[in-house]
Copies of this chain bind each other. A is one copy, B any other.
């Protein structure tokens, strides 16, 4: 089968999801595709360009279809959920995506869509940008934690079977007198309904933003 940029990106994404970014090497991808290492370079200029392709692939998974009948708050919610949904489809690839500058068309489309929505309901340029950034910050930050790589205690079953990740469950073993709440609430902290948590924060944000709007809208 012919080697293509698409197949190479797909192989990289598979490998990232299965073993993590650190396991990705041009040599391993080539092996997986039954080709020589150097063959990859006929379709992809470098490893970092390949990872950029992965990022673009992840972001192109965002479903932008909005219900124009819905309230603008619901449209904001839908957009935020679509972003989150695309990232969650490939959690480890999503980490790669949010760890590099956004330059691809797929990434900019998200920004464009969000700005359009906010401008259309009366937000000024400056506030529109700030609100979008706040939502992106929240969505990305939540996902980082959820995937188990950010502050806030490691939350769930690890994605891989690496011991390095498994050992993260050691909230037990903390000094309860130093961390009474963390130890006492470890059940709360460890096993979470991430979707419910996300909706909780999303509602707070939408509510906050919705209170902000009328004051500035013409």
User: A interface vs B, CB < 8 Å?
Assistant: 48, 59, 95, 97-103, 105, 107-112, 115-116, 119, 125-126, 128-130, 132-134, 136-142, 144-145, 148-154, 164-165, 168, 170-171, 174, 178-182, 185, 188-189, 192, 197, 200-201, 204-205, 207-209, 211-212
Contacts and interface: CB of A to CB of B under 8 A. Distances in A.
B102 A133 contact: no
B137 A103 contact: no
Contacts of A209: 204
Contacts of A141: 136-142, 144
Given A99-B144, A204-B205, 16 more contacts: A59-B151, A101-B148, A102-B152, A108-B153, A108-B174, A111-B151, A111-B153, A112-B179, A115-B185, A129-B188, A129-B189, A134-B204, A136-B150, A137-B141, A140-B141, A141-B141
A79 B141 CA distance: 17
Nearest to A179: B112
Contacts of A130: 197, 200-201
Interface of A (DSSP majority class): helix
Would you list the 10 A-B pairs with minimal beta carbon distance, nearest first?
A137-B141, A141-B141, A208-B208, A134-B201, A204-B208, A115-B181, A137-B142, A102-B151, A140-B141, A101-B154
30 contacts: A100-B149, A101-B149, A102-B154, A107-B151, A108-B182, A111-B181, A112-B180, A115-B181, A115-B182, A128-B185, A133-B142, A133-B145, A133-B152, A134-B138, A136-B145, A137-B137, A137-B138, A137-B140, A137-B201, A138-B141, A139-B141, A140-B140, A140-B150, A141-B141, A204-B205, A204-B209, A204-B212, A205-B205, A207-B208, A208-B208
